[in-house]
Amino acid sequence: MYTDYTNCRLCPRECKVNRNNGEVGFCGASAEAEVNRIDLHFMEEPVISGKNGSGTVFFTHCTMRCIFCQNKEISRRSSVGKKISAEQLAEQYIILEQKGAHNINLVSPTQYMPTIKKSIEIAKQNGIKIPFVYNTSGFERPEIIKGLKDYIDIFLTDYKYQSPFLAKEYSNCEDYPDFIIDAISQMIKITGSPVLNDDGILKKGTIIRHLMLPGQLSDTLKIMNKVKKYFNDTALFSLMRQYTPTGDNLPDELRRTISDLEYSTATEEFEALGLEGFVQSDSSVGTDKIPNFSQSI
């Protein structure tokens, strides 16, 4: 039993439910960690996936509720995964390392942070050497991120919105912009500036991701300028074109992919600002790029 689940305040929603007593909050997660998929993953940024793949653990549930979520099979409040203990997670990390994974990539981890921290302690006691990646939506309480010092080597964080209106309309969290800058600042305090090994794989550092949404170029440009202003050379920036409309309940403006003009305008701003990081080609778009969540691990 983890005390942080008793009065859950792990994310900015601060539901304060007693998950140890069977209550669930906005995300729907219980006091037992659940995963859907654990495997080598090759669709992250090159410094994460490398040639061997990233040892990725996809947790179920999510502290956000993005209407366009491409992982919605496992991220919804009603999603069900396989329950897993900290000890079992640590065993899986070791297996992934033995398979050649460049890192352990924890996807949507915040709702299970106490269990994950324990699993990392166990894995390190058992000699794991590869870095741990915290793959997050960016909707984080900075004081909670602070507690990941000595656990996490790399933060792979979204910067979804600068507009409170878009954050509310698309993800039911209009206060997202209130948290993102402080949360990323805390991440960078933990990791420092990016450090690559001799093979070009990230050992430590923070990557800020932004998934462009159709019709929202203005918000994208504002985000890139915020990144330049606050983080400049202390983090890498990943400008993502891969938005793929899925599902039947999307608003009209989200029923298309990013246009060439939208992306070329964004990449021109990327270059003009002198941001360091990554851009994507149009080959990144498509449902075939979404992991298969049909089977639990």
* Gap between the Cα atoms of 157 and 2, Å rounded: 25
Answering whether pTM is above 0.85, one says yes
The predicted structure's pLDDT at residue 80:
76
Domain with 9, as residue range(s), is 3-289
33 has pLDDT over 90: yes
Asked whether the CA dihedral 215, 283, 97, 89 is positive or negative, the reply is: positive
- Structure confidence by residue, pLDDT tens digits, 179-215: 999 999 999 999 999 999 999 999 999 999 999 999 9
What single-letter amino acid sits at 5? Answer: Y
The predicted structure's pLDDT at residue 293:
63
What single-letter amino acid sits at 9? Answer: R
288 has pLDDT over 60: no
Q: Is residue 296 part of a domain?
A: no
> pLDDT band at residue 79, thresholds of 50, 70 and 90?
confident
- Structure confidence by residue, pLDDT tens digits, 226-270: 999 999 889 999 999 999 998 778 999 999 999 999 999 999 999
The predicted structure's pLDDT at residue 75:
83
Q: Is residue 72 part of a domain?
A: yes
The predicted structure's pLDDT at residue 290:
63
Q: Is residue 297 part of a domain?
A: no
* Gap between the Cα atoms of 134 and 140, Å rounded: 12
CA 206 vs. chain centroid, Å, equals: 11
- Structure confidence by residue, pLDDT tens digits, 160-179: 999 999 999 999 999 999 99
The total of structural domains in the chain comes to 1
- Across 140-150, average pLDDT: 97
78 has pLDDT over 80: no
Q: Is residue 119 part of a domain?
A: yes
The predicted structure's pLDDT at residue 295:
54
- Across 101-118, average pLDDT: 98
Q: Is residue 294 part of a domain?
A: no
Report the CATH number at residue 259: 3.20.20.70
Choose among 6, 4, 19: nearest CA to 114: 4
Across 195-205, b (16+ Cβ under 10 Å) vs e yields eeeeeebbbbb
9 has pLDDT over 90: yes
- Structure confidence by residue, pLDDT tens digits, 38-77: 999 999 999 999 999 999 999 999 999 899 998 877 788 7
Q: Is residue 141 part of a domain?
A: yes
Angle (CA) 162-45-73 rounded to 5° is: 70
Q: Is residue 295 part of a domain?
A: no
